[in-house]
A and B are shown apart, each in its own frame.
Chain A
């Protein structure tokens, strides 16, 4: 398939050379499967095979794009797409800056992240996985829901500036298993992210769910008083909050537009907890990495926060062109973000509830519907969801109704951080809006942050 794709792109490039424009082609192919569960049934079972081609035409400082959903056999349709983009760019308006069109010095092919065994899992195998993950846990009241989303993703680029191309192919799976009580309305979750088949482990999910279900069925949930709490965040919550930083934190273009709580004056200074190190590391296959960005820049390990010190903003080529900055190899559809583990030997929920404590601690695994209240101050708001626990100082475990946090990320990841667990896990942050774009963060299994305010507390679910 790779040869066929590259050959087709080569033919299209030949056609593009005759348009009189500089043309860049972005090919995206997905083979997507999603089995969705609700009310203990398979509520939806879908698959889509889609090929998208985006054609960007440049004429000096003018730029225009045409995209289509197509098929490799439709070479004439794709050529017409090139002609359309070339026509559109004539009527475009010049940018105030000169956009860079890359010259690929050599063809780059990376299929190291592709495992056919994962993408070729049958419907029966996926169902078996789900059945194992929920084994012995479903009842009349306790209903299973979730997704098994898997697929193959191919990205390839070529342009009129050289005959060389970039080609990436990955496989991915995102599994979410939820057990929810139909009448009491509590719900617990366990999730898994996989780049290859062997990483799928339904037994581990079953253990986590069994542990959480046991807590929830034996304890009466309670409304928490408002106030300050020491909070332990699970990987979903941590990845969600840090993911927000890629918007309103270290993104160079958005900083220049006034949409960041970090400033150029803070580069080189300790802004976050000394325990926090955040690195973009394309060597980590679990993050479905791009080892070269779409401009052909090799992507190396790129520290963004090192021991709490903010090392600098990341720049895509277009933002760098506009603001006169140096691109940092971040012209990609997603980064490969890794948060280093800490020194706490706490790697499971069982470890967590055994944690010695002198005061109540709130465990929040998941944050629902996060949004940015004030980007300049890094203030976000979100509600807890999916199996929060109140680790009481007397050693027992309580179940709190959901609560709302409205906090600055500078507080959450600042000096209030007490510890990070040693073990890190990949957390799948993929969304399936538009084209498939498998994404995962590697984050510590748990992070403890002290003295955070609960601004709203539900009296029920």
Chain B
């Protein structure tokens, strides 16, 4: 098959294409087990294989994909035809940043292949979790296991050939209950890591899950008995369970270079950032250093090589508050540098990824992380807070089309008064303007507070694509934030 693909790449090159690549998925398998109140509602397994090819012709892209590998010539010709018509309407001819020709392999860290674990063991695990969650105050209990296993072979017309084997494990526990007014509340926990170790079946640590199930049930009951969150302005202390989403939505998405350049304007939106801002914009306070680090040893945002065939990198995005980088692939860095009239980006950041063989690669987050700081533990930060609220667990999130403002609701809040937690509150929300918010960052927790959250469902692009990634974030405090609306 590989030889046939290479022949087709050569044939399309011969027709005048400046670049051709193909991603062949010999297999992609997913398994999903979803238990709701003791019912195994989903017990699913899927397998797919196919090939997607990109053709660059006269500065325009064409793409085509099929699960039918019996007629590769037609598939590549369709992609070429798509590029040919696209080339009739070009405003900035696509060109790709240089990359080295590579022959490489990558495998994500995995000790026990989750697909080799008997189904009965997985069901038994969920049943045990479900029984542990079945406690007073809990009306809905959810537990799930999701596994992905795929082999991707990337070949391009620049002599690059990469084989990747990726294994992912996602899991969560979730409980819902109703308060005295009949309003539903929820508390959840997802499996994550410290950025080290492996993420096969071995990451389903039963003892850890049991601890977490007890915690979320206890906290749900605290919420059910709590008063409503006040409506005022105060410091908010974000635990990693909500800090990851804050980072994702208001650092990750606005710093995708295709958004900045207007390629997502008709759907996902634009960005508050312009090309002029790189190197000068004070995105956050001096305590903020953020990066797109796809070299973290263990995370869905670490994948060896992106779907342009570029090695994963650790890209600085925000350095002590100043915007210095973006989430980039080969195409967009060239266009950005040309439009800016200066070299903002030295090369591709290795962030171009597609969700499946039948989707085209676009700039996606890798691990969008905030570096740990020097403001101590969570206790230290609380002690240093005069009037605040500690928040955790995403419940709702809505962000402006240029990522310029946001509104989040969280699962639980703990009011802080004079350096002490005084009580739990329910229905907490907070909102803000992105730049003002990050510039109000007044404390960043140390490494003891730093956790990696795994994300299994970030949506972007047209046709829509779901992508997996990670966020390693510490506890952070922001001042003068509006809460309770």
Contact = CB atoms under 8 A, between A and B. Distances in A.
Given A41-B86, A185-B402, A257-B140, 10 more contacts: A50-B50, A65-B44, A88-B119, A95-B39, A127-B85, A176-B267, A180-B262, A189-B266, A258-B139, A381-B396
B397 A145 contact: no
B482 to A, nearest CB: 9
What are the 8 tightest A-B residue pairs by CB atom distance, in nearest-first order?
A69-B48, A42-B86, A123-B85, A432-B463, A45-B82, A91-B119, A178-B266, A376-B183
A45 B83 contact: yes
B63 A68 contact: no
Contact of B183 (A38, A177, A374): A374
Contacts of B48: 68-69
B189 to A, nearest CB: 19
A44 B119 contact: no
Contact of B64 (A47, A145, A432): A47
A198 interface: no
Contacts, number: 242
Interface of A: 32, 34-51, 63-71, 73, 81, 84-85, 88-89, 91-93, 95-97, 123-124, 127, 143, 145-147, 149, 176-178, 180, 182, 185, 187, 189, 257-259, 318, 322, 368-377, 381-383, 385, 402, 404, 406, 431-433, 455-456, 458, 460-461
B467 to A, nearest CB: 11
Contact of A39 (B41, B47, B184, B262): B262
Contact of A147 (B38, B91, B462, B465): B462
B106 interface: no
Contact of B360 (A44, A71, A368, A406): A44
Interface string B225-268: 00000000000000000000000000000000000011111110
Given A46-B63, A147-B266, A368 B400 contact: yes
Given A41-B90, A69-B50, A48 B459 contact: no
A51 B86 CA distance: 26
B265 A73 contact: no
A45 B81 CA distance: 9
Nearest to A140: B91
Contacts of A92: 40, 43, 119, 123
B405 A41 contact: no
B398 A381 contact: yes
Contacts of A406: 407, 485
A65 B358 CA distance: 22
B61 interface: yes
A410 B89 CA distance: 46
B68 interface: yes
B172 interface: no
Nearest to B42: A65
Contact of B401 (A127, A147, A369): A369
B377 to A, nearest CB: 31
Nearest to A131: B89
A45 B86 contact: yes
Interface in B422-448: 427, 429, 431
Given A63-B43, A88-B119, A96-B39, A402 B462 contact: no
21 contacts: A39-B92, A41-B90, A43-B86, A45-B82, A46-B360, A46-B463, A48-B358, A50-B67, A69-B49, A71-B68, A81-B47, A88-B43, A123-B85, A145-B265, A149-B463, A258-B140, A368-B400, A369-B400, A374-B396, A376-B178, A383-B401
Choose among B139, B264, B404, B407 the residue with the greatest number of A CB atoms under 10 Å from its CB: B407
A65 B32 CA distance: 10
B312 to A, nearest CB: 24
B88 A127 contact: yes
A234 B317 CA distance: 38
Interface in B90-116: 90-92
B421 interface: no
Contacts of B85: 42, 45, 123-124, 127
A375 B184 contact: yes
Interface size grouping (class) on chain B = 35 or more
B221 to A, nearest CB: 15
Given A66-B45, A67-B44, A456-B407, A382 B140 contact: no
A38 B265 contact: yes
A384 B407 CA distance: 13
B413 to A, nearest CB: 14
B49 A41 contact: no
Interface in B57-78: 60-68, 70, 78
A146 B265 CA distance: 8
B217 interface: no
Contacts of B463: 32, 34, 46, 48, 149, 432
A42 B89 contact: yes
Contacts of B49: 69
A71 B70 CA distance: 10
A369 B61 CA distance: 29
A68 B139 CA distance: 35
Given A41-B89, A49-B66, A322-B39, A404 B407 contact: yes
A39 B50 CA distance: 31
Contacts of B407: 373, 381, 404, 406, 455-456
A432 B356 CA distance: 13
B269 interface: yes
Choose among B82, B85, B266, B270 the residue with the greatest number of A CB atoms under 10 Å from its CB: B266
Nearest to A432: B463
Given A37-B266, A45-B62, A46-B63, A374 B427 contact: yes
A212 to B, nearest CB: 14
B55 to A, nearest CB: 10
Contacts of B429: 373
A382 B396 CA distance: 11
B111 to A, nearest CB: 23
Contacts of A458: 400, 404-405
A324 to B, nearest CB: 14
B211 interface: no
B466 interface: yes
A433 B66 contact: no
Nearest to A260: B184
B165 interface: no
B136 to A, nearest CB: 16
B78 A47 contact: yes
B281 interface: no
A89 B123 CA distance: 12
B127 interface: yes
B341 interface: no
Contacts of B280: none
A371 B44 contact: no
A71 B38 contact: no
